[in-house]
Amino acid sequence: MRWDIFCKVIDNYGDIGVCWRLARQIAAHGQEARLWVDDALALAWMAPDLAEGVDVRPWQGQAPNGLPRGDVLIEAFGCDITPDWVQAVATADTAWINLEYLSAEPYVERMHGLPSPVLSGPLAGWRKRFFYPGFTSATGGLLREPDLPRRQHRFDREAWLTAQGIQRKDGERLVSLFCYEPVALASLLDQLEQPQEDGEPDGPPRLTHLLVTAGRATAAVQALMRGRSTSPSSRLCVHYLPRLSQDDYDHLLWACDLNFVRGEDSLVRALWAARPSPAGDLQSIPFIWQIYPQHDDAHHDKLQAFLNWMRAPSSLRAFHDTWNGLDAAPLAGLDISAWGKVAQQARARALEPEDLFSQLRAMAATMAPRA
Ligand code: TRH
């Protein structure tokens, strides 16, 4: 099968991040993936080796002539492909699918799979269908590679950290930070500098190694650190990361004891993040989500829907509400071990629906005669 994915980069990295992840999964299944993107700059660090089988092409200017037509056309996040481009890569028999943003809100189950016929213009008579990723079996599921557990079992945490130049001291906890500019960031730094809970009974409070991702998170932390005087009793050590490949960003999540993520793609990766316990089973790593803010505050309901699906206890809800600026309450204390159990149960539930790629393939097969 030949797949065409169209991606418009709005801002940040979620659009290209999801499209790239999908394209490489298609290629890993031995199918042909053409990824049409209006701005491929981020792929230079996100995908430095460009996976074999993914054909990244510029989506700019006039549609090219003479292309072999594809079996599946993915219009990512309502990126609005003009008719000349649709006709350049597809025929009326191509499975044309609108891949939507991830949400845990109830409308997703109602909308997933709905058809949308084109009624006018050069493509009148063509039809597309809506595909809604989600967390339940009535939705399109989440991107999840089949070999993910195997790779997590084999992951060598210490070797990976050493390769990144990160020296973890005994008993130190690792926290990754990928965020926009949360108002509560200063409170988080305070909390990590002088944690209330102790590492060992009668021992000093835990040391935290904060691994700050490149870009907006680094800029936000640096701006705050400039104005702070670091106390000699500070239990916080900050390490600024370079831009990581998408695979290494996953490794970062697997290596840490708590992950702060933002947007949608890193949320899903945080949900999957796990390390083998001494007993050999995969143990989830707790995470905190900063949702992508929308001007009309639509993200408030979206955040609550996710926390409901997570079955988040009140401490985790309170932390999320403050972290996302929904209220001005003081930032709740970190409860890493309780939140780890919540993450473990959520991960188990998220594994129940079929993965997103398998569901996309099944939807395409019901639409395209050749697929
Ligand atoms: O970058 P984001 O904030 O993306 C956002 C949201 O997806 C939002 O919904 C969308 O509307 C907006 O973009 C336009 O967060 P997200 O979704 O987690 O995407 C980040 C991607 O970047 C993800 O694929 C992981 C990847 N990444 C790396 O590959 N290397 C890195 O070092 C980091 C920090 C991230």
Kindly report, residue by residue over 210-219, the tens digit of the pLDDT. 999 999 999 9
User: What average pLDDT does range 221-249 have in this prediction?
Assistant: 93
pLDDT class for 220, splitting at 50, 70, 90? very high
Which residue, 149, 347, 182, 352, is CA-closest to 267?
347
Could you tell me if 174 and 137 lie in one domain? Answer: no
| pLDDT higher than threshold 80 for residue 204 | no
Percent pLDDT > 70 in the chain is: 97
pLDDT class for 161, splitting at 50, 70, 90? very high
Q: What is the pLDDT of residue 312?
A: 98
Q: What is the pLDDT of residue 194?
A: 87
Helix residue ranges, H only, 235-367: 246-255, 265-272, 298-310, 314-323, 336-350, 356-367
- Among the listed residues 105, 193, 264, 321, the single catalytic one is 264
> What is the count of structural domains for the chain?
2
Give the mutation target among 246, 262, 265, 356 for probing the ligand 1 site: most ligand atoms within 8 A of CB. Answer: 265
Q: Is 264 close to ligand 1, i.e. is its CB under 6 Å away?
A: yes
| pLDDT higher than threshold 90 for residue 122 | yes
More confident residue, 203 or 115: 115
Q: What is the pLDDT of residue 200?
A: 61
Q: Is 15 close to ligand 1, i.e. is its CB under 6 Å away?
A: yes
pLDDT class for 199, splitting at 50, 70, 90? low
15 annotated active-site: yes
Could you tell me if 133 and 169 lie in one domain? Answer: no
Percent pLDDT > 90 in the chain is: 90
Q: Is 17 close to ligand 1, i.e. is its CB under 6 Å away?
A: yes
Q: What is the pLDDT of residue 80?
A: 94
Q: What is the pLDDT of residue 197?
A: 64
Q: What is the pLDDT of residue 272?
A: 98
pLDDT class for 370, splitting at 50, 70, 90? low
Q: Is 218 close to ligand 1, i.e. is its CB under 6 Å away?
A: no
Q: Is 11 close to ligand 1, i.e. is its CB under 6 Å away?
A: yes
User: What average pLDDT does range 283-302 have in this prediction?
Assistant: 95
pLDDT class for 371, splitting at 50, 70, 90? low
pLDDT class for 198, splitting at 50, 70, 90? low
Long-range (24+ apart) CB contacts under 8 A made by 231-235 are: 231/193, 231/194, 233/194, 234/193, 234/194, 235/192, 235/193, 235/194, 235/195, 235/204, 235/205, 235/206, 235/207, 235/208
Could you tell me if 182 and 78 lie in one domain? Answer: no
Could you tell me if 33 and 97 lie in one domain? Answer: yes
Determine the atom of ligand 1 nearest the C-alpha atom of 10.
14
Could you tell me if 341 and 358 lie in one domain? Answer: no
200 annotated active-site: no
Could you tell me if 50 and 152 lie in one domain? Answer: no
CA 175 to chain centre: 17
Cα(8) to centroid(ligand 1), Å? 14
| pLDDT higher than threshold 90 for residue 196 | no
| pLDDT higher than threshold 80 for residue 244 | yes
| pLDDT higher than threshold 80 for residue 203 | no
User: What average pLDDT does range 322-327 have in this prediction?
Assistant: 96
User: What average pLDDT does range 12-39 have in this prediction?
Assistant: 97
Which residue, 46, 33, 37, 32, is CA-closest to 6?
37
Residue-range definition of the domain harbouring residue 273? 148-350
Q: What is the CATH number of the domain that holds 134?
A: 3.40.50
Q: What is the pLDDT of residue 306?
A: 98
Could you tell me if 70 and 155 lie in one domain? Answer: no
For 167-181, 184-198, 230-244, which range has the lowest pLDDT when averaged over its residues?
Answer: 184-198
Give the chain's mean pLDDT: 95
Name which residue sits closest to atom 5 of ligand 1, judged by CA: 14
User: What average pLDDT does range 287-294 have in this prediction?
Assistant: 96
Q: Is 321 close to ligand 1, i.e. is its CB under 6 Å away?
A: no
Could you tell me if 211 and 359 lie in one domain? Answer: no
Q: What is the pLDDT of residue 201?
A: 61
pLDDT class for 227, splitting at 50, 70, 90? confident
Residue 272, exposed/middle/buried by CB under 10 A (0-12, 13-18, 19+)? Answer: buried
- Among the listed residues 4, 15, 71, 105, the single catalytic one is 15
Could you tell me if 22 and 157 lie in one domain? Answer: no
For the question of whether the overall pTM of this predicted structure is more than 0.85, the answer is yes
Could you tell me if 259 and 281 lie in one domain? Answer: yes
Could you tell me if 221 and 273 lie in one domain? Answer: yes
Q: Is 250 close to ligand 1, i.e. is its CB under 6 Å away?
A: no
Give the mutation target among 9, 11, 13, 264 for probing the ligand 1 site: most ligand atoms within 8 A of CB. Answer: 13
Q: What is the pLDDT of residue 206?
A: 86
Could you tell me if 198 and 340 lie in one domain? Answer: yes
DSSP state at residue 11: S
